[in-house]
Structure 1
């Protein structure tokens, strides 16, 4: 018993919480309002790894192949970025993480929405630009696209691990979405990759869900967004397929008009939410412990 206690104490001293770790967060703080009328159906959110206090978002079905860089402290749109070579059928989520094949930070976009009958099923990746300008263009080539097939017809959640592995969760009627892993080795393949589910979320929602999600920068924490709440899992072993089978914890959430976006900040010190609609407020929930 003494040896076990010593090991647990050592883990805590190294910054690893115990297995039953329960985080605590402040209630919401409104950081500002997105001030560009072009952002009217925000359907994804991701914290830049290359630029301090910058978030990326994009519009839902019917939008153009554009992402928007937003000041996380005010909601001001800093940059409108055209993703040349990418099609926008029904972009539903966005994530940031390491690039799979080289040093640097990448932005990942999921064209996986049900408004296109689930027929697009394409992922895009682009390296984060060194500088953000009012308008700019980033091009994607064959190696920046990943076409896949699966059993699902709708997906609004893409997550990227700290090792650049890709994870998707399907959107279903009761919120018990299926979890899929797409290995990073599949980028640039000429053929369509077929993926199979390895887990089902142990969740319930009265709405279709989930509608967004994110893995923390250290890889140990997952947040999943349902329409009316935010869920949390602590997964220190980073085996997400197994970890997401457990019951989640519910985090603070201020109900939004149609909130479909959530992400950790770039250090995992809190999380942001953003809703669809014109001039949506940007909310932040800061970690207390």
Structure 2
């Protein structure tokens, strides 16, 4: 968890083989900056700034996710201490609305994800997964139906739009208490993944059963480790799964990395065996989040 209050900057990456920004873009946001990620890291051209978050309410953005139901809408939240608010912005960083989730608190929110089910209903997942001092035995994931942007333009923290109550999922790790900043939801299966954040080694990748009806804490399953080509190699601050479910993007404070599932592989969990490929995410300070755009 960082306590830096900088205005976020948007950064766009263009692939050398792409003809337009829209056809190959994905969206990534550091805690202070945002980037657009093409299909292959080795095709990146230098990043450039696309916009800046203009809301004074979004002072420490710690997660970002693209809506899968509303065009050109990004969802974000502040780190700990802000209250249970989520914010919508457009691709230029303009504030579209503020929502308050009535039955949760923000102790240490670290990431956000979106999901569209087979019926076409869109959801927002929020990871209450920060645990810097490892004092908390349980972590939580909240889920709400994605709010509509229409009619929310004048909302703010003083007068937010109130969402329905969130569904809550409590979980524990199978090994030791973990600090984590990356929450990922598979776009097809709805499987939930949490990636730990470590200074002393590779990050752990955990699958959390999406049982929001369970009265008990879910035991997460460790399915792999993620070692970034960086020092330290386990300092994962954000992540996302591409809309086609075949790529994963993760970030640390200063760089981005992409993992790609082999063409002939259908088991998504095999992606964690692939080697993360770094790409230039542009100049940013203490980046804490990354995401693909709705078009992948």
* Normalised TM-score (structure 2): 0.76
Alignment counterpart, residue 85 of structure 1, candidates 103, 112, 134: 103
Q: Distance in 2 between matches of 1:180 and 1:156?
A: 12
> Shift in Å at residue 257 of structure 1?
1.3
Q: Distance in 1 between matches of 2:41 and 2:178?
A: 34
More helix by share: 1
Match of residue 70 from structure 1? 89
Q: Distance in 1 between matches of 2:93 and 2:222?
A: 36
Q: Which runs of 4+ in 1 moved over 6 A?
A: none
2:209 touches 2:220 (CA, 8 Å); kept in 1? no
Match of residue 242 from structure 1? 270
Q: Distance in 1 between matches of 2:66 and 2:201?
A: 25
Match of residue 163 from structure 2? 138
Listed as ranges, the matches of 1:72-151 within 5 Å are 72=91, 74-99=92-117, 103-115=120-132, 117=134, 119=136, 120-132=138-150, 133-134=152-153, 135=155, 136-141=161-166, 144-150=167-173, 151=176
> Shift in Å at residue 61 of structure 1?
1.5
Q: Distance in 1 between matches of 2:64 and 2:42?
A: 21
Question: Aligned residue pairs: how many?
Answer: 243
Match of residue 282 from structure 2? 254
2:41 touches 2:258 (CA, 8 Å); kept in 1? no
Match of residue 277 from structure 1? none
The Cα offsets for residues 246-266 of structure 1, whole Å up to 9 and x where unpaired, read as 211112211311111110010
What's the RMSD between the two structures over aligned residues? 2.0
The Cα offsets for residues 149-181 of structure 1, whole Å up to 9 and x where unpaired, read as 112320100001122111110110146210111
Structure 1 gaps, min length 5: 1-20, 269-289
The Cα offsets for residues 86-118 of structure 1, whole Å up to 9 and x where unpaired, read as 121100000111248x54111110001024736
Alignment counterpart, residue 54 of structure 1, candidates 58, 69, 73: 73
* Normalised TM-score (structure 1): 0.78
Structure 2 gaps, min length 5: 1-39, 156-160
Q: Distance in 2 between matches of 1:51 and 1:71?
A: 10
1:223 counterpart SS class:
strand
Match of residue 22 from structure 2? none
Q: Distance in 2 between matches of 1:228 and 1:131?
A: 32
> Shift in Å at residue 131 of structure 1?
3.4
